[in-house]
C-alpha cells in the first residue's frame, strides 16, 4: 500500500516514523523543510512516544495568577510536566525516512491512503492566535511554570522554562486577533531588561473540525482548548493510525473508536470555554478564584483530565 501524509508536525512526522520503521511505502509532505511553530513545548509527564524526545526541563512547580494576583502555587515531588525540544524531535522524525517532500501534495493519484495531519491554516475551524517569544532574562521569582489569566479575555499568558537561561513566554486570547503587544507588555512586566530572541504567532485550534475523515492531530481538532496542549493527543492519534494500517483495518473507523475518550474530553472542554466566553468579567473572576483555590482541580487541569466526571467531583 502506498501512503501519503499531508503535514509534518507532531502527528504527521510521528506517523511517518512509525510507518517507515515498519517498512511501509510512505511519503511525507510539508511546505516547510524545517519545523517552527509558535507554541509551548510542555507535555504532561504521563506519556512517552516510541521515538524518544530530548527533555529540556522537568517541571515540579506551577503558579496560577488572575488579574496580576497570585492565587495558588502547587509543587510536586515528581515532575508533573516536562519541557521537550519539540522542534528537534520533529526534525529527527522527518529525517528518519527517505521520502520527505517539501511542498504540497498536488497529485493525489497513485496513493492508496492519504492521511491529513496539517495545522489549522485553512481556517476550517474556530482558532485563537497565540504569540510566543523566546526570551533571555534574569531569573524569575517562580522557578516553574506560570499561568496568568486576564478576566477581560478568554485565554491566558504563560511562562515556561526553555533551557539555557531562556524562557518560552506567550499568550493567546479568543477576543484578540493579534496579541503581540499584549505579550510584549507581559514580558516587560515580568522581567527586567529582557532580550527577545525570537517572536512569532500562529493559529491554534479551539473549535470543532467539520471534516475529520482520515485525519490525525490538529487536523482532527485534537487540541485541549483549556490549555492549548496538542502534542500528546496528536502522538496518540498517530499511534492509532499506525495500528490500523498494521492490522489492515479501515483507518478512519479505527480512529473513531480508539480516540473516543480523548475527543469526548476535548468536546467537553470546548463547551466549558463557550460558557466562559459568555460570562461577564465579574463572573469570570469569581469562577477563577473559586477553581484556582482547589488543588484537585489544578491537578486535573495539569493532567488534561478536565471532563464531566472530574469537574463535578471538584
Pick the closest to residue 127 from 206, 241, 195 (CA basis). 206
Taken as a whole, the chain contains a residue count of 314
Q: What is the sign, positive or negative, of the torsion defined by CA atoms of 105, 106, 109, 110? A: negative
Contact 275, 283 (CB under 8 A): no
**pLDDT (0 to 100) of residue 55:** 96
Alpha carbon of 89 to those of 33, 86, 275: distances in Å? 14, 5, 36
Pick the closest to residue 206 from 266, 261, 131, 156 (CA basis). 266
Rg of the chain (C-alpha set): 20
pTM of the predicted protein model: 0.94
Q: Region 249-255: what's the mean pLDDT? A: 98
Tell me, rounded to whole angstroms, the distance of Cα 73 from its chain centroid.
23
CA dist., res. 6 & res. 133, Å (int): 27
- Going by C-beta distance under 8 Å and a sequence separation of 6 or more, which residues neighbour residue 136? 165, 166, 167, 194, 195, 197
CA dist., res. 216 & res. 172, Å (int): 23
β-strand 127-136 against 42-44: which pairing, if any? unpaired
**pLDDT (0 to 100) of residue 171:** 96
Domain range spanning residue 103?
Answer: 2-313
Q: Region 27-41: what's the mean pLDDT? A: 88
The total number of structural domains that make up the chain: 1
Whether residue 123 is predicted with pLDDT greater than 60 in this model: the reply is no
DSSP code for 227: T
**pLDDT (0 to 100) of residue 37:** 77
Contact 158, 145 (CB under 8 A): yes
Return the CATH number at 184.
3.50.50.60
Q: Which residue has the cell 518560552?
A: 168
Q: Which residues pair with 163 in a beta bridge?
A: 166
**pLDDT (0 to 100) of residue 124:** 64
Provide, rounded to the nearest whole percent, the portion of the chain with pLDDT above 90.
Answer: 84
Contact 312, 304 (CB under 8 A): no
**pLDDT (0 to 100) of residue 22:** 97
Amino acid at each position: 500500500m502506498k501512503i501519503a501524509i499531508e503535514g509534518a508536525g507532531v502527528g504527521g512526522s510521528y506517523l511517518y516514523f512509525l510507518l517507515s520503521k515498519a517498512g511501509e511505502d510512505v511519503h511525507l509532505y510539508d511546505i516547510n523543510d524545517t519545523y517552527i511553530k509558535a507554541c509551548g513545548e510542555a507535555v504532561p509527564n504521563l506519556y512517552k512516544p516510541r521515538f524518544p524526545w530530548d527533555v529540556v526541563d522537568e517541571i515540579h512547580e506551577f503558579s496560577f495568577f488572575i488579574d496580576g494576583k497570585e492565587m495558588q502555587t502547587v509543587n510536586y515531588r515528581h515532575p508533573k510536566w516536562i519541557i521537550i525540544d519539540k522542534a528537534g524531535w520533529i526534525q529527527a522524525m522527518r529525517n528518519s525516512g527517505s521520502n520527505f517532500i517539501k511542498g504540497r501534495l498536488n497529485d493525489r493519484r497513485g496513493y492508496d491512503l492519504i492521511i491529513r495531519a496539517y495545522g489549522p491554516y485553512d481556517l476550517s475551524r474556530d482558532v485563537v492566535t497565540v504569540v510566543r517569544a523566546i526570551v533571555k532574562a534574569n531569573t524569575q521569582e517562580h522557578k516553574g511554570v506560570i499561568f496568568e489569566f486576564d478576566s477581560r479575555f478568554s485565554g491566558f499568558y504563560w511562562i515556561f522554562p526553555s533551557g539555557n537561561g531562556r524562557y518560552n513566554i506567550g499568550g493567546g486570547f479568543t477576543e484578540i486577533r493579534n496579541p503581540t503587544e499584549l505579550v510584549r507588555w507581559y514580558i516587560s512586566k515580568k522581567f527586567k531588561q529582557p532580550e527577545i530572541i525570537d517572536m512569532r504567532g500562529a493559529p491554534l485550534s479551539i473549535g470543532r473540525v467539520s471534516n475529520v475523515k482520515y485525519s490525525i492531530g490538529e487536523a482532527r481538532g485534537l487540541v485541549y482548548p483549556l490549555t492549548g496542549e496538542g502534542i500528546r493527543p496528536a502522538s496518540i492519534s498517530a499511534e492509532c493510525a499506525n495500528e490500523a494500517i498494521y492490522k489492515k483495518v479501515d483507518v478512519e473507523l479505527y480512529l473513531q473508536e480508539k480516540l473516543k475518550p480523548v475527543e469526548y474530553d476535548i468536546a467537553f472542554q470546548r463547551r466549558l470555554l463557550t460558557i466562559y466566553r459568555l460570562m461577564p468579567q465579574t463572573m469570570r473572576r469569581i469562577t477563577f478564584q473559586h477553581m484556582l483555590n482547589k488543588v484537585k482541580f489544578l491537578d486535573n487541569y495539569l493532567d488534561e483530565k478536565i471532563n464531566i466526571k472530574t469537574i463535578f467531583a471538584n
